[in-house]
Each structure stands twice: as structure tokens, then as C-alpha cells.
Amino acid sequence: MSIQYKSIKNLTSMLQNKEISYKELINETFTLIESKMDLNAFITLNKDMAIEKATLLDSKKNDSLLAGIPIAQKDLFCTKDLRTTCGSNMLSSFIPPYSATVISNLENAGCISVGKTNMDEFAMGSSNETSFYGNVENPWGKNLVPGGSSGGSASAVSSGIVPAATGTDTGGSIRQPASLCGITGLKPTYGRISRWGMIAFASSLDQAGPMARTAEDCAILLNEMCSHDNKDTTSLNEHIPDFTKDIDQPIKGMKIGIVKEFDLSQLDNEVVKVFEESKKHYESLGAEFIEISLPNISLSVPTYYVVAPAECSSNLSRFDGVKFGKRCDDPKNLEDLYIRTRSEGFGDEVKRRILIGSYVLSAGFYDAYYKKAQQVRRLIKNDFDEAFLKVDVLMSPTTRGPAFEAGSKGSDPIQMYLEDLFTIPANLAGLPALSIPNGFVDNKPIGLQLIGNFLEENKLLKFAHNFQKTTDFHLKTPSGENI
Amino acid sequence: MSWETVIGLEIHVQLSTNSKLFSGGSTGFGAEPNTHVDLIDMGLPGVLPVANREAFYKAIRFGLATNAEINQTSSFDRKNYFYPDLPKGYQITQMAMPIVGKGSIKIDVDGSEKIINITRAHLEEDAGKSIHDLFDGETGVDLNRAGTPLLEIVSEPEISNAKEAVAYFKAVRQLVTFLDICDGNMAQGSMRCDVNVSIKKQEDEKLGTRAEIKNINSFKFIERAINFEIDRQIRIIESGESVVQETRLYDSVKNETRSMRSKEEANDYRYFPCPDLLPVVISDNEFNDIKNNLPELPDEKEKRYMSEANLEEAEAKIISSSKTMANMFEDACSKTDDSKLVANWLVGDVSALLNKDNIDIEESKLSSNNFATLIERISDKTISGKIAKSVLEEVWESGHDVDNIIKDKGLVQIQDESVLEEIAQRIINDNPSQVGAYKGGKDKLFGFFVGQVMKETQGKANPKSVNDILKNLLDS
Amino acid sequence: MDKKTVTTIAYLSRIALDEGNEDKITADLENIIKFVDQLDNANVDGIEPLTNPLEKKAQTREDKVTAENRKDTFLDRAPKSNEDYFLVPRVVE
């Protein structure tokens, strides 16, 4: 019996009913991975360790829900003694001496890390085209991008070779690829999941999250991924609920906000149609719709493209060829070492963002750009705060359209930046948001975004699960059959 | 032409915490290179800083002792620049909201007092060390020091000459050691300073262009560097040129300052709030606790020594001038009722030895324990004052234990009067002519007899007993 | 954004722009800056900047040494080191 396209829930019951052994599951997983190498979803595999762990699990009884579940880890999380590249040439031989908290949490829960997934370099991109390790293919079509930056994770889950993967989301990097690959992806509240061991892109925006076939699987993963971590002072010291608990509760009478300023008229008719159908579906489940105004939300993308580059320009200064990572050959002197290491180690998109960041922080421009952007950021957050007095969740398309072809966005970076139009606001305000498959455009999947109030992941998951219980978009596979 | 000098100091004080400002790495000095380096100190990808609360407490003590504004909510910013011993490519410091605001400190220059205002004192992390001279063509980087908490104390530009600058530095050092927030060890770099020097014509309002001399770590060098810099700037201006705003390095071998152009190029630190660190808030309870448990400061000690121990003002001042000296005084006083005796030894013999070697008490081999024992042995008459002097000299050289020296050299004072009487009688018997002369009126010869007894006893006789016994034998 | 500004920022960032990409990157930067200039439209008078979505106070640590000595791992995995130090080309001060 093939394990391809199986959810975590399916696999757990197969393991517990002894339909398959832990080792068989991992061996099968690697057979699948190796049969799909053309996706280029992985940068580094962890085969020996994975098999060893599975063998160990076979030798003793294990009741943990996640025991033996194969997980693909975004190559942005440090994994002790396992190469971690962050999609960059700069870290092509970087072996971390420690593991990220979220990796440890999942592994302690019994998950088996099968490999490190491809991604946009340092998570800067929306198509996985900025990876030093090559483009990732979207299983839904030759030469289609999987989205980014968590493109390898999305592709791996979408192709059914792993039931779940980790991702990170700074401006949409979990939700946008989830949308483009037809899977479910959740970005939790900022601070829910420890950032310790996550290679920082923009510290005040970065948040890790689960990517899986279903909202229910995301909830199962989230239960283990969250923790209060005293190694991260921005880690929330709040009660962590059982995210699977209320997921079955009805949403009847709950209120969904539609953001007036998200101008859908600019989108393709088909995309709008899919969105309108989802609205109708939620109405049929008993939800009410309210139009909500977020007056400052149109400034989200420019705000983001000041804040994120500013933080990244500083966060990426540690890659200087001195203590770890790449160093250029035969540096003539210290300046030469810095400049050549960084020029050779970083790709063009990373360089662009570092330069923008240095510019907006430099003397004379700080107030006009950086400070102003952070002020606008507060306005955006205030808009959300008001909105959530009136509604339970906000709803929008996740992306402007379905997956596009590699290279099709041309060379204008701003066209790519606008990919994250709908996803960026949640990061600026630190709010939880998820994407679920809600239809197809040109036979390519597309996603629906739900944004929740601070700490209300459970509500989001309930909305998503209710949708998935009554639709089958998430059950379609690229190979054409329904699961 | 008459020139006025304007000097401002930025003093970097290493706070004496056990662990670093943002990591659990040890701050211990002198360890093997790169052994006190945590993941965080390495600036590894994915690591995050967590602030050490003790550093805030220590900074607040300084603020309270300088009557400064204390910001119970303070925050951190990043200062971005590249240097091999700066692992993250930025230094975490407090720019916008420092823990300590405006305050002041009293300095003493040749007996006259002056108040120097302090602009601010903020927490920041120290860099590692670059070793330039150990390897051929290469610089070695040791990150042991990276992340050690520093309190950077920034003075107003109110210092008028090199002497005042040194007095200010000394006053700060005295304070931080009394507050127990820094060991004050300059040789180990626990205190370093950057000096901003500019000159202007007396009648000018506007300050001149300043040069910043980086990283000086001795009183002597502060004075020399400033004086060199003043001369240099006067020469430049008088020759019709103008001073360039730049960072300079003091070369103690050549006794000159020279430009560090490497640090000048495109000097834009791009400060911004550190997104990894939320503001740190010190509660009213914590604040009051620090305030109520502030260690006794030099001025208070001086007053107490005068009132409780009956010391003269001059003595009290000398003893309370350094934490080590004050500790020695207090430790020794616990071993004797005679605080005057303790003061005399410190202000007298100990100070003389310090002057002779031109060192500070912290640098001497005389420990507080050993000094207290010495006083105790004088007090309980185990040794005479004279013997004590030689013991002190020996301790000064070797650092050996006082009791061991007394034991090994057999210096215990002879207390048994019958022994002394026997010796005295023998000497009187052996020197009939001197006895005759003494009895004939040559009073001065009494000293001769005392000397002989002391010689015979190798100085171990209690002088007062010898006097009494001889008087008794000769005058009867 | 002129060439000189780009040169300065590139130096601050320790990134070299070569003939191949200098014009393109300069043009991109110009466009991006033009794009973010939309922020001029916002009225932010009296608005406190929001630098982190968690408006909370920081958790801090006790003053305890918890680090282990990882000297060998760090130095072994460094681009260039000897038995004691990370090594870089000689810095002249």
C-alpha cells in the first residue's frame, strides 16, 4: 500500500495498527523522495539518521501521535551536525553545532527529519528562483514555480512524498507556496514558535509554521511546534491550547470580514470566481460576512519593503567569512575578505535587500523610511485591532493567482514583491493566518487566506477544518486522482 | 595666543557579572582563547540574545551613586559595522533609551573640587580581541571577551585639561569599585576610555573640531595622550590648517597619537532598535531594593572613619580613597581595638611602600587578610613594631603568609621577663666601664644597653619590657 | 539614488557591484525606493513606531554561566583557524 499523499492522521493509524513498520515507512519515504528528485525539493537528505531513528522506534512501543512521522525541514532551521544552507552559497558547507528549538520539539515528539528542503536564498523570494541550489518544481505542472520562500517544503508535501513539512513565513513564505501547491499552511501568531535556531531574515516578522495536507494535520504539528522558550525573549509566555480540540466545532453564526481595500477587480476573473464560491460555501456553513475597512493596508507592501530589508541588512552582517560559512579564496586583506566573501556568497536578490536595508537605515534617511515605515506599521496593526472587534476572522485570496512559470515575472523585482500583497499585512501585525486550497484556475490549485486575531490559531483551524470537511480541494493530487 | 582645551571622556567599564550580557558565556579573565564562547557569542546563524538582569542592577547602582536619572524601562539598539572581533557585524548597545540618564560626579584636582556632569551611562556588549602580532601576516581572533557587559559612561565636554581627565577617570574608578560593579583592573582592561579632545580660542563660543583617541587603559597614558593631542592641534591651527574630525590611536611607545583612517571610511553605524530584544523593565520593587542596598560610598566611609574610628581627616581620606585600602582598614580593625594603629600602618608604612614602588594597593602582594594578621600580631604583642616592619617588607616582596614568616624566622617576641632579666644582667656584668660611665651621669648610654639586649635577642624582645628591666637593674 | 550613494551603501554593506550587475542593481534600487516612497502618503503625526508586534517587556536571564567550552567545534568548522584562534588577514591599525 502506497504511503504517497497520506496525511499524518492516516500514517499514525497505519503505524499503530502495524500495517507498516516505522522503518518501512521511512524506507518508502526515501523511495518516493528519490523517485521525485526532479522536483529539486531537497537540498540535503538525512537518510542514515532517519533510518536509524525509525529502526529504534520499531524496537519499542510508542504512543506519540507523531512518532515515526517523516517530516521535511526547511533548510532555514539549524539542525545539529546536519548541513544547513538557508538556500545560499554562503552556507554551502555550514554544519550547525546546535538545533533550532522547533526542530528539537518535533524530533522529541517522535518526528523523523528526512531532509532539508530547498528555499529562496535566506527566505528572500516568492518563487524559489533565488535559491543557490536551483529552482524547485511545482508538482502541478512542468516549469511552474512552487512559490516561495518555503518552496521545497510546499513541493515535497504537494507531491505526497512527505505528509508534512516545516516552513517559515516573513511576508507570506508559508501561505503563498501553500496556495500555489494546493496544500494547507499556517503562520502562527508572532512569538508562538520559538525563533531560536531559525536563521533570521527579518526578526520582527519571521515566524515558523506547519505545512501539511490538512488543517487537522497542521493543528497536530502546531501542538508540538509551539513552546515557551527562554532562549527567545520574543517567544510568547502564553497558554498553549490543544489546537486539535475545538477544530470540529461548527462555525455557525461566526463572522468573517472581507477587506474592502483588497481590490479584487485587479485579479483574474477565474480567481475572483473561486473566491466568491468559497464565500458562498462558508455562508452555507452558517458564517456571516461583514465588509471591513483597513484604511492603511494598501501601504503594507511598501512598509514591508523597508522594515524587512532594514532588519535583514543587519541580520546578514554576521556572514563575513570569519567564523563560519564561506570565505573567498586568497583574500588580499581584510576588506577584500569581507567584500569578496559577501559578493560571492550572496545572490542578487539578497544583495538588493541588504543594500535597500542599509540605505533606509543610513544617516539622513532613517526618519523618512525606517521610522516612518514602523509608524505606518502601527497604523496597520491598529486597523486590525479594530477589525477584530467586529469579526472572528478576515478572509481574502492568498495569492493574486495560481502558480506561474519560472522566469515569467521578468526582471522587475517589484512585480515579484507584489506576489505577497495579501499575505504581508498579517506579518506586520504579528497575526496568525493560514492558507487552504479552495479551487483551481487553469487546473492549477489556488488558496484561500484566513487571518485571525492575536493567539487565535484555534479559530483559524476551526474555520479551515470546517471547510475541508465539506470540500475536496485539499484531496486532489497533481497526478489527477483524489485521495 | 591662548587656547582652551575641551575634553570629554567615554569610559567603558566592564561590569563584574559572572556571565555575559546576552549569553551564559563566562566573563572570567585570562582563560585559554575561545573557551568562554557561547553559541550566542559566536553570532551563529539563528541564535538570539537574552539580557542578563544583573547587568541592569549594576548599572542602576552607578546611576544612583551619581544622582542620575534612571530609566526603569530601557531598550537596545544595534550599531552596525564590520570588524573581525565583532561576531555579528553589529554591537548591541543602548542608543535611544539608556538605562542611566544625566548625572554627575565630584572630582578632586590638587585639593580643589569640581563637578563633572555625566550625559548618560548605557549598557552594551564588549567585542572580542584581535591579536595582531602573534602570527605571520595574520590576525588571530579570540572571542572570550565578546559579549562581556560594559557600562559606557559618557561625560559632558567639561574637562579642561589632562590632569582633570585623570582625576575624573580616577573618581569613576573609585566609585565603580566601591559599588562593586567593576574590579577596576586596568591592566586587564576592565576599564578603558575614549577621549575626545578639541581646542578653541578662549573667546570663541563654538567648540573646535574634535579628535577621538580610542581605547586608553592607564592614567599615565590618558594624561600623555591628551597632552600630545593638545600640542598637535595647536600646532595644526597655528600653522593655518584645520583639525580633521577623526579617530586616533595612542601609541605609548612613541608617545604620540596617530590617525586610524581604517575606522573612518564611511562611518555610518545605521543604529536601529534591536528587533530581537524587547524593552527591559525594572520594577519599582527591584529599584527600591537596589537603592536600599547600595554599598557605602567613599564620602560616607571617610565621615564614618572620622567619627567612629577617630581618624584625622587626612588619614580618613587616604584610607577611603580606594576600596581595597578601605577593606584592609575594616578587616584589620576587626582584629584590634586600636584603629589608630591600623591607620598609622596604612597611611605610614604601607603608603610609603606603595610610593616607593609607584603602584596602587590593588597591585601589591599584600592581601587584606595578611595585613589584618600583621596588625593582630602587633596588637597581641607576638611581634614588636620593629619586627613588624621587617615582616611587612618581606610580605611586600614575597606575598607569603605573615604567621609563617614569624614562625619560620623565629620572630616571636620574648615575653618571658625572667629571660630578658637574665640577658640584661649578663650584659651589665660584661660591660663594667659603661655601667660606671652611665652611673656617673652619661644618661645617653642607656640606649647602648637597650641596643645590646635587642642585639642579643635578635630584636625579639619587647622594647618596653627591656626598658623597664634595664631601668630597674641600672638605677637601683 | 545616484551612483555615489549606491557606492557608499555597497561599501557599508561590504558588497561589491561589478560591471555586470551595477547598472541593473542601481536601477532596481531606484525603483524599489520609488515604490516605498508611497509611504509619504501616510499621516503618521504623533504615531509611535512599532518595532516588534509583541508590545511586551523582555524576559531576562539570571546571571549564571551556562555555556560549555565548544572551542574545538567552533575552530574546526571555521573557514580558517589554528589551534587557538580564528584567523583573518593581518589587520593594520
Q: How many domains is chain B built from?
A: 3
The least confident of A374-383, B260-269, C50-59 is B260-269
Cis preceding-peptide flag for B130 (omega within 30 of 0):
no
CA quadruple A301, A305, A307, A310: dihedral, nearest 10: 180
Judging contacts by C-beta atoms under 8 Å, the chain A residues touching residue B268 are 362-363
The least confident of A37-41, A254-258, B154-158, B448-452 is B448-452
Question: Quick one: pLDDT at residue B198?
Answer: 95
For residues A371 and C50, give the distance between their C-alpha atoms in angstroms, rounded to a whole number: 9
Q: Considering only CA atoms, which of A2, A46, A40, A219 is closest in space to residue A144?
A: A40
Q: Are A431 and A178 in contact (CB under 8 A)?
A: no
| Interchain CB contact of A202 with C (< 8 Å) | no
Question: Quick one: pLDDT at residue B110?
Answer: 87
**Is residue C14 in some structural domain?**
yes
Cβ distance C33 to A359 less than 8 Å, yes or no, reads yes
Question: Quick one: pLDDT at residue B265?
Answer: 53
Judging contacts by C-beta atoms under 8 Å, the chain C residues touching residue B270 are 12
Please state the φ and ψ torsions of residue A255, each to the nearest 5 degrees.
Answer: -110, 135
- Domain span including residue A26: 8-251+432-475
Same domain? B459 vs B377 = no
CB-closest option in C8, C70, C91 to B139: C91
Q: Over the stretch B412-428, which tens digit does the pLDDT of each residue have?
A: 777 777 888 888 888 88
Cβ distance B42 to C61 less than 8 Å, yes or no, reads no
Cα angle value B16/B18/B22 (rounded, 5°): 95
Q: How many domains is chain C built from?
A: 1
**Is residue A375 in some structural domain?**
no
Judging contacts by C-beta atoms under 8 Å, the chain C residues touching residue A326 are 79
Task: Please identify, among B256, B286, B316, the residue that sits at the C-terminal boundary of a domain.
Answer: B286
In which band, very low, low, confident or very high, does the pLDDT at B462 lie, cut at 50, 70 and 90? confident
The CATH number of whichever domain residue A471 belongs to comes to 3.90.1300.10
Question: Quick one: pLDDT at residue B385?
Answer: 84
Return the residue of A nearest to B87 by Cα: A318
Higher pLDDT, A111 or B408: A111
**Is residue C90 in some structural domain?**
no
**Is residue B148 in some structural domain?**
yes
Record the cell numbers describing residue B221, joined without a space.
597614558
The least confident of A341-350, B120-129, C1-10 is C1-10
**Is residue C24 in some structural domain?**
yes
Highest mean pLDDT among B238-247, B318-327, B378-387, C75-84: C75-84
**Is residue A412 in some structural domain?**
no
In which band, very low, low, confident or very high, does the pLDDT at B133 lie, cut at 50, 70 and 90? confident
**Is residue B260 in some structural domain?**
yes
Question: Quick one: pLDDT at residue B473?
Answer: 85
In which band, very low, low, confident or very high, does the pLDDT at B408 lie, cut at 50, 70 and 90? confident
**Is residue A352 in some structural domain?**
no
- Enumerate residues 6+ apart whose C-beta is below 8 A from B426: none
Cβ distance B50 to A334 less than 8 Å, yes or no, reads no
pLDDT at B363 over 90: no
CB-closest option in C13, C42, C53 to A190: C53
Looking at the DSSP bridge assignments, the partners of residue B107 are: B114
Q: How many domains is chain A built from?
A: 1
Mean pLDDT by runs of 10 across the 483 residues of chain A is 92 94 97 97 98 94 90 98 98 98 97 98 97 98 96 98 98 98 98 98 98 98 97 95 96 97 93 98 98 96 97 98 97 96 96 96 94 98 98 98 93 86 97 98 97 98 98 93 77
**Is residue B355 in some structural domain?**
yes
Same domain? B253 vs B319 = no
CA distance A123 to chain B (A): 13
Question: Quick one: pLDDT at residue B262?
Answer: 52
Q: Are B360 and B332 in contact (CB under 8 A)?
A: no
Task: Please identify, among B263, B286, B309, the residue that sits at the C-terminal boundary of a domain.
Answer: B286
Question: Quick one: pLDDT at residue B443?
Answer: 85
Question: Quick one: pLDDT at residue B266?
Answer: 54
CB-closest option in A203, A323, A334 to B43: A323
**Is residue C72 in some structural domain?**
no
CB-closest option in B45, B143, B271 to A318: B45
Amino acid type, A178? A
- Domain span including residue C27: 3-41
Q: Strand A207-212 relative to strand A184-187: parallel, antiparallel, unpaired?
A: antiparallel
The rounded percent of chain B whose pLDDT value lies above 70 is 98
Task: Please identify, among B235, B256, B286, the residue that sits at the C-terminal boundary of a domain.
Answer: B286
Please compute, for residue B107, the number of CA atoms within 13 A of its CA located in the half-sphere on the CB side: 24
Please give the mean pLDDT across all residues of chain C. 92
Question: Quick one: pLDDT at residue B1?
Answer: 63
Residue from A88, A322, A327, A334 to probe the interface with B (highest B Cβ count within 10 Å): A322
Looking at the DSSP bridge assignments, the partners of residue B121 are: B100, B153
Largest CA-CA distance found in chain A, in angstroms, rounded: 69
**Is residue C28 in some structural domain?**
yes
Q: Strand B3-14 relative to strand B103-109: parallel, antiparallel, unpaired?
A: unpaired
In which band, very low, low, confident or very high, does the pLDDT at B409 lie, cut at 50, 70 and 90? confident
Q: Are A171 and A153 in contact (CB under 8 A)?
A: no
For residues A477 and A157, give the distance between their C-alpha atoms in angstroms, rounded to a whole number: 11
Q: Over the stretch B328-361, which tens digit does the pLDDT of each residue have?
A: 999 999 988 899 999 999 999 999 999 999 888 8
- Domain span including residue B431: 417-475
In which band, very low, low, confident or very high, does the pLDDT at B261 lie, cut at 50, 70 and 90? low
Same domain? B113 vs B233 = yes
Q: Give the helix ranges, DSSP H, for A362-418.
A: 372-390, 413-417
ipTM confidence score: 0.96
Judging contacts by C-beta atoms under 8 Å, the chain B residues touching residue C70 are 37, 39
Looking at the DSSP bridge assignments, the partners of residue A212 are: A164, A184
Same domain? B141 vs B242 = yes
**Is residue C17 in some structural domain?**
yes
Judging contacts by C-beta atoms under 8 Å, the chain C residues touching residue A302 are 35-39
**Is residue C68 in some structural domain?**
no
pLDDT at B264 over 80: no
| Interchain CB contact of B203 with C (< 8 Å) | no
- Other beta carbons within 10 Å of C46: 6
| Interchain CB contact of A314 with C (< 8 Å) | no
Same domain? B456 vs B389 = no
Return the residue of A nearest to B79 by Cα: A314
Over residues B397-426, the mean pLDDT reads 84
**Is residue B291 in some structural domain?**
no
**Is residue A341 in some structural domain?**
no
**Is residue C23 in some structural domain?**
yes
Please give the mean pLDDT across all residues of chain B. 92
pLDDT at C11 over 80: yes
Same domain? B100 vs B225 = yes
Same domain? B89 vs B197 = yes
